[in-house]
Amino acid sequence: MKFSELLVLLTIVIVLSAIIILVIFYTTRREKPREKADFTEIIKANSNLQKLEVYFLGWIVEYDSRSKESFYNHHSKFTWVSPTWYIFDEKIVLVEKFYDEDFVEKCRKWGVKIIPLVANKNFDREIVHKILSDPSARKSAVNQVVKLVVERNYDGINIDLENIPPEDRDNLTLFMKLLYEKLHPLGKLVTIDVPAKTQPTYSGWSGAYDYRALSNYSDLFIIMIYDYHWAGGEPGPVSPLDWFSEVLDYALQTVPIEKIVAGIPFYGYDWPEGGRARGLSYSKAIELANETKACVKFNKDVGEACFTYYSGVKKHYVWFQIAKSTELRIKIALNKGIKKIAAWRIGLEDPKTWQVIEKPEEP
């Protein structure tokens, strides 16, 4: 046998050995197969839920029928509802993606205040930069929002401008000031969604949001306390309790307590090892656990449910919310004197969540 042939044979042996080792490695990493999924821990966690009185806001999306259906079934729990019907496009035109007259009439009948969400399309940075930095575009954008609220007779508006360049920090405050000065005298609510932070920031995703200044021009200051672990990052809890608490502590130093709304997640994520996560509802997480016969844990320290499973040889990490998750977060907020809660989004929640949320009786 020639040396070159021997070298090829040796290479083949090494490659086959590596494949065998990898197969053994991934096989032994797996837990022993179960006959069915194990939900013992989340059943126990959800077994003794407490009703908590809060002023509740929920976002409703038009692209998932479960969102409106869940709202209709539990409308008595809501103080405000925010349908996600409006975006600013590339030409800084306020576009009505969707409108549901029956939805609006039902909200008025039930006494739920309607404050639709307005966002920059796809959270596009160039769009939001133009809205905020160009005086003419800024004035036009404000006027379009005011016109919409007046003509549709909404109770207010929910501004959800995201992916803002940090250099537009003062411009965002000015935009909200102009909007507030036009809508507030009309008795309309001006609300804003802001990223969570535990200290002042001037760069990155949250750098453009000056909590103290923005709170001067907002009736509801809605802090999105989620995506601590996000789709493009490492697996982990979406809104761990200690971080949730720290975000509210910082907010209390900068925003009047009566304006603070603690935003909570109703969703979870499924991360493939080393890859980008997909969003997950409670029902989808349970379905996935059943399909993969997973052992679902409830992590009391962070307040979320989790499990792992394999798809082929790739390990997946799942974190999601149960009713207990919502109860624990609301308790933290109430213990700090914060009585307003918002959730992204309706239709993704554990059905037992509605055993926790209770609308305060009118005085």
Q: What is the pLDDT of residues 226-272, one digit of tens each?
A: 999 999 999 999 999 999 999 999 999 999 999 999 999 999 999 99
Percent of the chain with pLDDT over 90: 90
pLDDT at site 362: 77
- Band of residue 34 on the pLDDT scale cut at 50, 70, 90: confident
Joined tokens for residue 134: 């160009």
Q: Is residue 66 part of a domain?
A: yes
Is 9's pLDDT higher than 90? no
Q: Is the peptide bond before 345 cis (omega within 30 degrees of 0)?
A: yes
Query: Among candidates 227, 253, 221, which has minimal Cα distance to 342?
Result: 221
Q: Is residue 29 part of a domain?
A: no
Taking the C-alpha atoms of residue 173 and residue 177, their distance in angstroms, rounded to an integer, is 6
For residue 226, give the CATH number of its domain: 3.20.20.80
Q: Is residue 262 part of a domain?
A: yes
Q: Report helix, strand and coil shares of the chain as percent, to nearest 5.
A: 45, 25, 35
Is 287's pLDDT higher than 90? yes
Q: What is the DSSP letter of 164?
A: -
Phi and psi, residue 128, nearest 5°: -70, -35
Q: Helix or strand or coil: residue 264?
A: strand
Q: Helix or strand or coil: residue 136?
A: helix
Q: Is residue 224 part of a domain?
A: yes
Mean pLDDT of 38-60: 98
Q: Helix or strand or coil: residue 31?
A: coil
Is 14's pLDDT higher than 80? no
Q: State in Å, rounded, how far the first CA of the chain is from the last one.
A: 96
Mean pLDDT of 301-328: 98
- Regarding beta strands 314-320 and 220-224, do their DSSP bridges make them parallel or antiparallel, or are they unpaired? unpaired
Is 29's pLDDT higher than 80? no
Mean pLDDT of 92-104: 98
Mean pLDDT of the chain: 94
Taking the C-alpha atoms of residue 8 and residue 11, their distance in angstroms, rounded to an integer, is 5
Cα angle, residue 290 at apex, residues 289 and 291 outer, rounded to 5°: 90
Q: Is residue 326 part of a domain?
A: yes
Phi and psi, residue 130, nearest 5°: -65, -45
- Please name the residue that has the structure tokens 């796809």: 122
Taking the C-alpha atoms of residue 212 and residue 221, their distance in angstroms, rounded to an integer, is 10
Domain extent for 238: 50-268+322-358
Q: What is the DSSP letter of 34?
A: P
Mean pLDDT of 304-308: 98
- Band of residue 13 on the pLDDT scale cut at 50, 70, 90: low
In single-letter form, the type of residue at position 236 comes to: G
Q: Is residue 292 part of a domain?
A: no
> Is 276:232 a contact under the CB 8 Å cutoff?
yes
Q: Is residue 253 part of a domain?
A: yes
- Model pLDDT for residues 178-227, shown as the tens digit of each residue: 999 999 999 999 999 999 999 999 999 999 999 999 999 999 999 999 99
Is 22's pLDDT higher than 60? no
Number of structural domains found in the chain: 1
C-alpha distances in Å from residue 347, one per residue of 59, 67, 69, 252: 9, 4, 8, 30
pLDDT at site 21: 59
Q: Give strand pairing partners of 56.
A: 341
Query: Would the pTM count as exceeding 0.95?
Result: no
- Model pLDDT for residues 150-175, shown as the tens digit of each residue: 999 999 999 999 999 999 999 999 99
Q: Is residue 301 part of a domain?
A: no
Joined tokens for residue 347: 């239709």
Is 356's pLDDT higher than 60? yes
